[in-house]
Chain A
Amino acid sequence: MADTSPQPSRSRDLDKLLLRPGNLVGPRFEPGPETRDDLQAYARVLVVGAGGLGCELLKDLALTGFRNLDVIDMDRIEVTNLNRQFLFRLEDVGKPKAEVAAKRVMERISGVNIVPHFCRIEDKDISFYNDFNIIALGLDSIEARSYINGVACSFLEYDSYNNPREETIKPMVDGGTEGFKGHARVILPGITPCFECTIWLFPPQVKFPLCTLAETPRTAAHCIEYAHLIKWNEVHGGTAFDPDDPEHMKWVYNEALKRAELFGIPGVTYSLTQGVVKNIIPAIASTNAIISAACALETLKIATECSKTLSNYLSYNGTQGVHTKVTEFERDKDCLVCGPGVLIEVEPSVTLQKFIYLLEEHPKLWLSRASVSHQGKNLYLQAPTVLEEMTRSNLSQTLFNLMGKVTRDIVHVNGTATKNDQKISCMRKLLVVFKGTDGVADMDTAGGA
């Protein structure tokens, strides 16, 4: 009558990976329950985005054995999310996605602790991101990916041989879906290409010529963009269009409809209007599930080294049958975001003017007419005149003071380099180390505080 067989362990499937040796395991992998326990105790993962992919990711990671999760999302739940963002119910509409998602997963999976953050990713200090061992991305925009990538790469440090210091690598697992297509990739800054190394992978956005919209609309999308980009400003002047305001959207829809009738164009609907204006691509629940599963597995592999990670980009296409392919993209060796930068050691007494002169003489650079920026502050710009004048007074100050008296930091410079007798404009990342400050001149003992 009663089922006498013992309850299978909750980690039965995980144990197959973590308790047994294998041929593809990492060099430090030691099979055994300790790895499993450490995974639960020490691995902290941040899930960025609590939408279609984010819901799947949270659930998958929690079921995979991660117990310390955070989730960050700035959006509130909308009715149209409910078909695929399965953690949300009708009564949740209007509530923050991150909070509801965290609560639902914790209710269903005992032992997991998820901390929600209902805010923009830019609102958090950079140090917030450094507290996580792995960052999993379930995002739908290039901007947000680029931002997180910049943050994660900012923790990266290199040793004196330009090898990345392992303890400063902030691994990212990035998922993305578009209808029946998706990708999963592993970004180990300093080892595999960062997001910025391969930003060209993203196709250019389709934009219609404004004059086509104004004069010769041919498609329903033209009519919608006319109402959104031209008519709105004509009528509403100062009020900025808010794509999240249903009244605004309704107005654009009605105007688009009028225009479509005028030109005899069929096909303008409210949902198409939303799609065109907000650049929405229909999301498919199963694509999200597949991509999320791949991402969760990669996250587990990075954490435990129970197997080699994906190297380094998986594309999935479920439009006709199923097609998947793994491509190994290469790093951009001069990447301004994840590259090591050229090491420059200078005395703290060096003025900015002298520093710019040193760049001209530097055998790895030969960079003349350099403009210099540090942490978003423009220290000196060669042109245009207005900016040159605004920054000229910095030339006589010491670089050490201008950089806030730090012992070492990254600066970006651009100017003209001479290569094989040809002058080319270039932009370089430099690691400036001030000699004699905190004994930092020796890179190997510099550490990464």
Chain B
Amino acid sequence: MIKLFKVKEKQRELAENASGGAPIKKQTAGELRLHKDISELNLPKSCAMHFPNGKDDLMNFEVSIRPDEGYYMGGTFLFSFQVSPIYPHEAPKVKCKTKVYHPNIDLEGNVCLNILREDWKPVLNINTVIYGLYHLFTEPNYEDPLNHDAAAVLRENPKLFESNVRRAMAGGYVGQIFFPRCM
């Protein structure tokens, strides 16, 4: 290719002072795939999306989930999504922004959902993750606890768990911990 390099070098010298175009934002393969995921979303009415940075930043968004059955019916829970440029090779990073009394979500907003970590696969998509999150509210699971206390209560005394959840969602204390209202 060296002859080609030679030709190019000459062209480069000629073009040296010609002004280049405005720097172009590079669209990553992750963005392209996410674009597809998002435009194909098929969400239940109980889930809504927000794009705080506008229509051209899809890599950071929020999803609010309002369960219409189960312990958490009537509450609204906000999740932030951060998507990497090598998505879907890497799972989106998801945090719960609403403080919630839940066996699988800790008080810092970490979420224990298998498809977000150990079981993530590139064939999964944003829709799957949102349904997974929704599922956590309809079927909280004491076998994979992140909030140990909440998990123990759910296991030992589901009635008490239910009233704890109602109290937390209405805005109040469960034990020593205060939960802001989210209904």
A contact residues vs B (CB 8 Å cutoff): 28, 35, 38-39, 42-44, 122, 125-127, 131, 133, 142-143, 146-147, 150-151, 154, 166-167, 171, 196, 199-200, 202, 204-205, 207-211, 214-215, 229-230, 233-234, 302-305, 336-337, 371, 373, 375-378, 381-384, 386-387, 390-391, 412, 414-415, 425, 427
B contact residues vs A (CB 8 Å cutoff): 1-9, 12, 20-21, 23-33, 35-36, 38-43, 48-51, 54-56, 58, 84-86, 89-91, 104, 106-108, 110-112, 114, 117-118, 120-122, 144-146, 148
Assembled-state Cα–Cα distance A28/B4 (Å): 11
* A150 contacts B43, C-beta separation under 8 Å: no
Q: Which chain A residue shows the least CB distance to B122?
A: A200
Interface of B is mostly: loop
* B2 contacts A38, C-beta separation under 8 Å: yes
Assembled-state Cα–Cα distance A415/B40 (Å): 8
Assembled-state Cα–Cα distance A239/B28 (Å): 28
Chain B residues whose C-beta falls within 8 Å of the C-beta of A171 in the assembled complex: 1
* A387 contacts B118, C-beta separation under 8 Å: no
- Least distance between B125 CB and chain A CB atoms (Å): 10
- The residue that A414 contacts in the complex, of B5, B9, B35, B104, with Cβ under 8 A, is B35
* B2 contacts A387, C-beta separation under 8 Å: no
Assembled-state Cα–Cα distance A43/B8 (Å): 10
Chain A residues whose C-beta falls within 8 Å of the C-beta of B120 in the assembled complex: 204, 207
Assembled-state Cα–Cα distance A373/B31 (Å): 10
- The residue that A378 contacts in the complex, of B5, B23, B58, B108, with Cβ under 8 A, is B58
- Least distance between B152 CB and chain A CB atoms (Å): 11
Q: Which chain A residue shows the least CB distance to B147?
A: A214
* A42 contacts B89, C-beta separation under 8 Å: no
* B36 contacts A208, C-beta separation under 8 Å: no
How many pairs of residues, A versus B, come closer than 8 Å at their CB atoms? 175
Assembled-state Cα–Cα distance A360/B126 (Å): 26
Chain B residues whose C-beta falls within 8 Å of the C-beta of A35 in the assembled complex: 2
* A373 contacts B25, C-beta separation under 8 Å: no
Assembled-state Cα–Cα distance A202/B88 (Å): 12
Chain B residues whose C-beta falls within 8 Å of the C-beta of A215 in the assembled complex: 144-146, 148
Assembled-state Cα–Cα distance A425/B125 (Å): 13
Assembled-state Cα–Cα distance A44/B9 (Å): 9
- The residue that B41 contacts in the complex, of A150, A200, A384, with Cβ under 8 A, is A384
* A386 contacts B49, C-beta separation under 8 Å: yes
**With A127-B20, A150-B28, A412-B27: A207-B5 Cβ-Cβ less than 8 Å:** no
Assembled-state Cα–Cα distance A336/B32 (Å): 8
Q: Which of B4, B35, B39 has the most CB of A within 10 A?
A: B39
Assembled-state Cα–Cα distance A233/B93 (Å): 15
Chain B residues whose C-beta falls within 8 Å of the C-beta of A44 in the assembled complex: 5, 9
Assembled-state Cα–Cα distance A122/B144 (Å): 40
Assembled-state Cα–Cα distance A336/B35 (Å): 13
* A39 contacts B2, C-beta separation under 8 Å: yes
Q: Which chain B residue shows the least CB distance to A26?
A: B1
- The residue that A386 contacts in the complex, of B51, B86, B89, with Cβ under 8 A, is B51
- The residue that A376 contacts in the complex, of B20, B31, B40, B89, with Cβ under 8 A, is B31
Assembled-state Cα–Cα distance A42/B58 (Å): 42
* B41 contacts A427, C-beta separation under 8 Å: no
**With A133-B5, A375-B24: A425-B56 Cβ-Cβ less than 8 Å:** no
* A42 contacts B2, C-beta separation under 8 Å: yes
- The residue that A375 contacts in the complex, of B27, B86, B145, with Cβ under 8 A, is B27
* B3 contacts A427, C-beta separation under 8 Å: no
* B28 contacts A147, C-beta separation under 8 Å: yes
Assembled-state Cα–Cα distance A285/B65 (Å): 51
* B118 contacts A207, C-beta separation under 8 Å: yes
* A209 contacts B32, C-beta separation under 8 Å: no
* A373 contacts B29, C-beta separation under 8 Å: no
Chain B residues whose C-beta falls within 8 Å of the C-beta of A382 in the assembled complex: 39
**With A209-B114, A210-B112, A214-B106: A142-B89 Cβ-Cβ less than 8 Å:** yes
**With A126-B26, A230-B108, A381-B55: A133-B1 Cβ-Cβ less than 8 Å:** yes
Nearest 9 pairs between A and B by C-beta?
A: A371-B39, A211-B144, A376-B25, A207-B117, A414-B36, A211-B112, A390-B55, A42-B5, A233-B108
Assembled-state Cα–Cα distance A305/B1 (Å): 7
Assembled-state Cα–Cα distance A373/B36 (Å): 10
Q: Could you list 15 A-B pairs, sorted by A, with CB under 8 Å? A: A143-B86, A146-B28, A167-B7, A204-B121, A214-B106, A230-B110, A234-B108, A302-B1, A303-B2, A378-B58, A381-B55, A386-B50, A386-B51, A412-B32, A414-B40
